[in-house]
Structure 1
Amino acid sequence: MDKRYLESSVFEAFQDRLSYVFSEFDYIYVSFSGGKDSGLLLNLVLDYKRKYNIKSKIGVFHQDFEAQYSMTTEYVEKMFEDNLEDIEPYWVCLPMATRTAVGNHEMFWYPWDDEKEELWVRRMPNKEYVINQESNPFTYYKYKMKQESLAKQFGRWMRDKHKGAKIVCLLGTRASESLQRYCAIVNKQHGYKGKCWITKEFKNVWTASPLYDWALEDVWVANYKFDYEYNKIYDLFYKAGLPPRKMRVASPFNDSAKESLNLYKILDPEVWVKLVARVQGANFTSIYGKTKAMGYRSVKLPEGHTWKSFTYFLLDTLPENIRNNYIKKFSTSIDFWNNKGGGLPEIAICELIRKGYNIERNGISNHTKDKKSRVIFLGDIPDDTDDIKFTKDIPSWKRMCYCILKNDHMCKFMGFSPTKEQRMKTEYIKKKYEKFFKIGVKML
């Protein structure tokens, strides 16, 4: 079959990138979730390996989240079993902390939690290449570590296993999936030998995204043209009327998947019954995930409250660890807007001044494209900023309150993102302004 099927050069560029990866690194493994992008990536890599008669096996890392569609499990197993001559499979079923956005009483749930085996959504896979607590050779694993850390530390373990060899993990990440992914790839300052799509994780451990410039349409055209195996849950998604950009096979309880959680009830009812018992809030979210019951924007301020007092009230109703998480995020934001400030367009600054907001300029923001002026708020931040029309990127107690109402533990609505750099920055600010944090806790 002629593989020059696209008018664009994304397929040819991918072939060139694979050639580069195989020439630069000693051991290559694919991170395989069972989704459309990682599935295509695995198929393309296997085709390349066979075409050029590469003898060494390709590692395949699958991080199993326990609660997933039955078709996803079937697809993963089929890809492993059909390609054992060419791959070294690692099917990881270890207890790990995975973020949940279906309730405010749990920040994490724990797939394969050995303390809740009776509630597991499905049985432990029974294959010789499954890594669980009884067969775990993974020396960097820590009990119930975060899922992101587990995936990263797996690369270190692979390096050690191969005696210090240069390791690269291939990811099915595409820049068009989100602006955050685009910026992480295209705007990278320090890639591998000038390659923006390759990132260093540890000494001799790298990740690479050779599909980064592929569009969603390219993925499905390739699956069709090459007649690749893919996860058939996507066919059911399509029949259910789900837009392609919203088709997810990740953990059903995270931010990106919770709106389509109700699909489990329709597409995989046996799994659905167990999901309800597995994580608190799953049933409520599946019913009301797209309604005003989960709609923070429809909330009216209770009589006698300001948005600030209502935020304090909501914080007081939460478990201690969840409450402290929000306090840390909110305190970081308040300190930022009181002392450093964010870059705002001139028209928004003039509007703030005209409407009497207590602000002042604080230099130029180097993080904005057109070098906007930084603005700090003197004294307390506003209760709400509903009267400001020219920007939404300004702080308010209402905005913080919405984070709680949205179960937004990471406070993405306020501009936070879950990067390693920002986590380190938050810890630094917490220590630097420890007295401020203590005052905030006493106020509650």
Structure 2
Amino acid sequence: MIREYLEENVYEAFQKRIKFIFEEFDNIFVSFSGGKDSGLLLNMTMDFQKKYYPEKKIGVFHQDFEAQYTVTTEYIERTFERIKDEVEPYWVCLPMATRTALSNYEMYWYPWDDKKEDCWVRPMPKKDYVINLEHNPMTTYRYRMHQEDLAKQFGRWYRMSHGNKKTVCLLGMRADESLQRYSGFLNIKYGYKGQCWISNQFKDVWCASPMYDWTSQDVWHANDLFDYDYNELYNLYHKAGLKISQMRVASPFNDYSKDALNLYRVIDPEIWAKLVGRVRGANFGCIYGKTKAMGFRNITLPEGHTWKSYTMFLLDTLPPRIRNNYAKKFNTSIQFWHQTGGGLDEETIHELEEHGYKIKRNGVSNYTASKKSRVIFLEQIPDDTDDIKSSKDIPSWKRMCGCILKNDHICRSMGFGLSREQKRNIEYIKEKYQSIEEMEYGI
């Protein structure tokens, strides 16, 4: 993507984008998490709507993960009560499969699990606009569906319940939050009318991120400039000495948040006491989350083991479902590095050759911007590559072992993303329910 410097600030660019959204889409709703980005997006969108489209109501969707700070719950409730008469509010508290990085024995936990009501972290919100199992108009919901699928299927249901017209979900996603998000916005292939910040989910259902080029500084400047309400958790984070990049409003059990588990014990001890009894491994993760025990620092090899044998030993200790998940990803990685190869810098290739690794070039990698050479390993995958200093992106049994020790079920540290098997095999679901959907909704 060619970088262009425009004579407008991010707020002016946002105003143009939100105008485009209101002109192009019939149904608009904001995904509100309770964080700084989605909160600002909601406030600015409502300001625009009141000024230019007062006759058009927007929806507000909040996906509640049950386990969160008390001040976050207070902010969400305060926001909904303030805007409930001006928007269509949807506060969703339905059981859903949510990833956990705290246990080798559980890949998921289930917020608002109706079978574990006695150990919920907090009581079910009592508002007319709360959606739960007892009050659920969302016909596209499946019991204990994955959290990502629930969010997507809400958009599909919103379209169907609003005349099957063109629908868009507004997200507070920003490119500077991670390289993964940045690279996602670079791909304009599937953008709506050439806009890289709008992507398609279903027929006539889109997601848009009109703040994608904002920085954290921009967000806080706007909140201060317009005197918007925000989640006071950020004040507590600041007092605790966290960097802006560490301040996340997310499930405390996923792989992004587990390092900050100890803050719950300090900031919100009452909620912390309930977290310990809610998800297996919470207390262990709090104590050992930044130690060798969870693969955070350099792990050491037990005496008498190679990294391969230690990996096999750890796999044998796991439940079959978890073990098979890791084994499938490890086998995929091994096959990839033997047959296809990963893109490596010339410096790394020369270093591998100097250290005697049997490798071969296999064309160029289309996944790298600079078209790096693809490299395959001709012999067995190395036990470790500690002698290679120029890159960490080299296959080894030590790298695989680290995934197990960190409870990295997705194997992100090996370059994997979510598999559709983990998302309940989406192709199978599409085939199974496509004919039913066409008959029932005429689409």
TM-score, structure 2 normalization: 0.92
Q: Map 1:264-413; keep pairs closer than 5 Å.
A: 264-413=264-413
CA distance in 2, matches of 1:388, 1:264: 39
Residue 24 of structure 2 is matched in structure 1 by 24
Residues 1:151 and 2:151 aligned together: yes
Q: Choose 288-297 or 262-271, whichever is displaced more.
A: 288-297
Residue 261 of structure 1 is matched in structure 2 by 261
Write out per-residue CA displacement over residues 104-143 of structure 1, whole angstroms, 9 at most, x where no aligned residue.
Answer: 1111110000111111001111011111011111111111
Residue 121 of structure 1 is matched in structure 2 by 121
What is the deviation of 1:103? 1.8
Residue 179 of structure 1 is matched in structure 2 by 179
What amino acid maps onto 1:408 in structure 2? D
SS in 1 for 2:59: strand
Alignment coverage as a number of residue pairs = 422
Residue 48 of structure 2 is matched in structure 1 by 48
Q: Is the 8 A contact 2:29 2:169 kept in 1?
A: yes
SS in 2 for 1:44: helix
Q: Is the 8 A contact 2:290 2:296 kept in 1?
A: no
Q: Is the 8 A contact 2:90 2:129 kept in 1?
A: yes
Q: Is the 8 A contact 1:332 1:426 kept in 2?
A: no
What is the deviation of 1:302? 1.5
Residue 111 of structure 2 is matched in structure 1 by 111
CA distance in 1, matches of 2:339, 2:131: 48
What amino acid maps onto 2:12 in structure 1? E
CA distance in 2, matches of 1:422, 1:132: 24
SS in 2 for 1:60: strand
CA distance in 2, matches of 1:384, 1:425: 33
Residues 1:418 and 2:396 aligned together: no
TM-score, structure 1 normalization: 0.91
Residue 95 of structure 1 is matched in structure 2 by 95
Ranges in structure 2 where 5+ consecutive residues have no aligned partner: 1-6, 429-443
What amino acid maps onto 1:238 in structure 2? H
What amino acid maps onto 2:161 in structure 1? K
What amino acid maps onto 2:46 in structure 1? L
CA distance in 2, matches of 1:15, 1:322: 47
What amino acid maps onto 1:381 in structure 2? I
Structure 1 residues 69 and 296: CA distance shift in structure 2, 3 A: closer
Residue 139 of structure 1 is matched in structure 2 by 139
Q: Is the 8 A contact 2:146 2:423 kept in 1?
A: no
Ranges in structure 1 where 5+ consecutive residues have no aligned partner: 1-6, 429-444
CA distance in 1, matches of 2:180, 2:214: 16
Residues 1:170 and 2:198 aligned together: no
CA distance in 2, matches of 1:90, 1:272: 27
What amino acid maps onto 2:211 in structure 1? L
Residue 432 of structure 2 is matched in structure 1 by none
CA distance in 2, matches of 1:337, 1:137: 48
Structure 1 residues 426 and 339: CA distance shift in structure 2, 3 A: farther
SS in 1 for 2:183: helix
Q: Is the 8 A contact 2:188 2:195 kept in 1?
A: no
Residue 4 of structure 1 is matched in structure 2 by none
CA distance in 2, matches of 1:79, 1:151: 20
Q: Choose 246-255 or 378-387, whichever is displaced more.
A: 378-387
Residue 210 of structure 2 is matched in structure 1 by 210
What is the deviation of 1:294? 3.2
CA distance in 1, matches of 2:334, 2:297: 22
CA distance in 2, matches of 1:366, 1:425: 26
CA distance in 1, matches of 2:363, 2:424: 24
State the Cα RMSD in Å.
2.0
Structure 1 residues 224 and 99: CA distance shift in structure 2, 3 A: same
CA distance in 1, matches of 2:50, 2:83: 11
What amino acid maps onto 1:378 in structure 2? L
Q: Is the 8 A contact 1:29 1:168 kept in 2?
A: yes
Residue 33 of structure 1 is matched in structure 2 by 33
